[in-house]
Amino acid sequence: MQLITCPWCGPREETEFRYGGQADLAYPADPSALDDEQWARFLFFRDNPKGTFAERWCHDAGCRRWLRAVRDTRTYVFAETGPYGSFPRRSARPERSA
Amino acid sequence: MTAELSSGVELRSASSPVVLTRRHPLEGRRATLEALTGEPSITLEPLVSAVDLRVDPDGGAPEAIAAALGGTLPRSPDTWTELPDGVALRLGPDEWLLTSAAADPHRWEDRVDALAAPHGGMAVDVSAQRVGLRLHGPAARDLLAFGCSIDLRPTAFGRGRCAQTLFGQAAVLLVAHAEDDLRLHVRTSFAGYVVDRLVDTARSLRPTPA
Ligand SMILES: [Zn+2]
């Protein structure tokens, strides 16, 4: 079984991770302006390259952070992994009931 | 209602005559663990108060909270430091697990949360989330290695290190205290599975009596 390098935890077994699909999808700027076909394309249509593919993975059994990985779909070899975006610089702190 | 943390202490409600006795979630397996001979020994850790602290790691918040608590918070991933009556474990870039053996759970939550609030962070009580097991003896790491894939050699996982990983099918939090002294935290609902698997493995490691 291969190791995936979590940017936070380091190399860990693949079973600790969950696949999260294609990376870098942009949410539509104005979703309500989309017709059904365009919305369906955003929701359900993904690239399926033979070769290098940028993907999201989540380190479920470890730090539970998302990461961005570039993987070759022919060989399953990971070319690189890195953090996915950034966590909120300041948490939106909800009011707590007493 | 008074809440005591030590195992088996009675919880009394002033308005009700009902007496609830708090049991360790693994109380039913205590005898099995005590009957294990040889090493490593597997013992149940006392229940402690624990909060999950989420706060921006940059901008001085961890240092300020640590100073107010009278200890330090770990700066590096997968490491732990000591607090006056507990430990601080780094679980993620903006996440720590802070324990206290002395404070009761809601007071511990209130205290850490009040310290995190000015920094936009917060603390949530997770005392009931995990139970702890202690593995003691030269073969402690060998025993864990039967269910863990991470590098458990003392050079890679020495005192001060911790890791969230899998033991068999269960997510666990491993804490290294010494070469022959490790702590394992597991979600309460998976604790029975982990203990049974540890006991099973420990028995298979030991020479069968003649
Ligand atoms: Zn991780």
Task: Please give the average per-residue pLDDT across B93-104, as a whole number.
Answer: 95
Give me the pLDDT at residue A90, please. Answer: 54
Tell which wins on pLDDT, B6 or A42: A42
Please state the domain extents for chain B: 26-46+129-205, 48-126
**Residue B181 confidence class, pLDDT cut points 50, 70, 90:** very high
Q: Do B93 and A12 touch (CB under 8 A)?
A: no
Give me the pLDDT at residue B210, please. Answer: 57
Tell which wins on pLDDT, B205 or B203: B203
Amino acid identity of B191?
Answer: A
Give me the pLDDT at residue A86, please. Answer: 67
Q: Do B149 and A63 touch (CB under 8 A)?
A: no
* CA B135 vs CA A42, A81, B44: distances in Å: 51, 34, 9
Task: Please give the average per-residue pLDDT across B80-85, as a whole number.
Answer: 96
pLDDT higher than threshold 90 for residue B16: no
Which two structure tokens, joined as six digits, stand for B162? 């911790």
Q: Do A63 and B56 touch (CB under 8 A)?
A: no
Is residue A15 in some structural domain?
yes
Q: Where are the alpha helices (DSSP H) in chain B?
A: 30-35, 61-69, 105-116, 140-145, 188-205
Q: Do A65 and B93 touch (CB under 8 A)?
A: yes
* CA B202 vs CA A46, A96, B36, B39: distances in Å: 48, 46, 8, 8
Q: What domain count does chain A have?
A: 1
Running DSSP on this structure, what letter comes out for residue B21?
A: E
Give the domain B26-46+129-205 fold. Gyrase A; domain 2 (3.30.1360)
Q: Where are the alpha helices (DSSP H) in chain A?
A: 36-44
Cβ-based interface (< 8 Å): residues of B facing A: 54-56, 58, 77-78, 91-95, 113, 117, 120-122, 149-150, 163-166, 171
Give me the pLDDT at residue B5, please. Answer: 46
Choose among B78, B113, B149: nearest Cβ to A9.
Answer: B78
Task: Please give the average per-residue pLDDT across A68-83, as a whole number.
Answer: 95
Q: In which region does residue A90 sit, left (phi positive, over 0), alpha (psi from -120 to 50) or beta (all else)?
A: beta
Chain A residues inside the 8 Å CB shell of B77:
8-10, 63
Task: Please give the average per-residue pLDDT across A65-70, as a whole number.
Answer: 95
ipTM: 0.82
Domain, as residue range, for A59? 1-25+53-86
CB atoms within 10 A of CB B34: 12
The CATH number of the domain holding residue A1 is: 3.30.2270.10
- Residue A10 Cα, ligand 1 centroid: separation in angstroms? 7
Give me the pLDDT at residue B66, please. Answer: 96
Chain B residues inside the 8 Å CB shell of A64:
92
What does the pLDDT look like over A4-59, one tens digit per residue?
Answer: 999 999 999 999 999 999 999 989 999 999 999 999 999 999 999 999 999 999 99
Number of CB pairs, chain A paired with chain B, less than 8 A apart = 55
Closest residue in A to B95 (Cα–Cα): A63
Furthest-apart CA atoms within chain A: distance in Å: 55
Amino acid identity of A31?
Answer: P
CATH of domain B48-126: 3.30.70.1520
pLDDT higher than threshold 60 for residue A88: no
User: What's the gap in Å between the CA of A90 and the closest CA on chain B?
Assistant: 6
Give me the pLDDT at residue B192, please. Answer: 96
pLDDT higher than threshold 90 for residue B188: yes
What does the pLDDT look like over B127-143, one tens digit per residue?
Answer: 999 999 999 999 999 99
pLDDT higher than threshold 90 for residue B13: no
Give me the pLDDT at residue B59, please. Answer: 84
The dihedral formed by the CA atoms of B202, A13, B163 and A94, expressed in degrees to the nearest 10: -130
Q: How far apart are CA B18 and CA B88, in angstroms?
A: 36
- Residue A63 Cα, ligand 1 centroid: separation in angstroms? 4
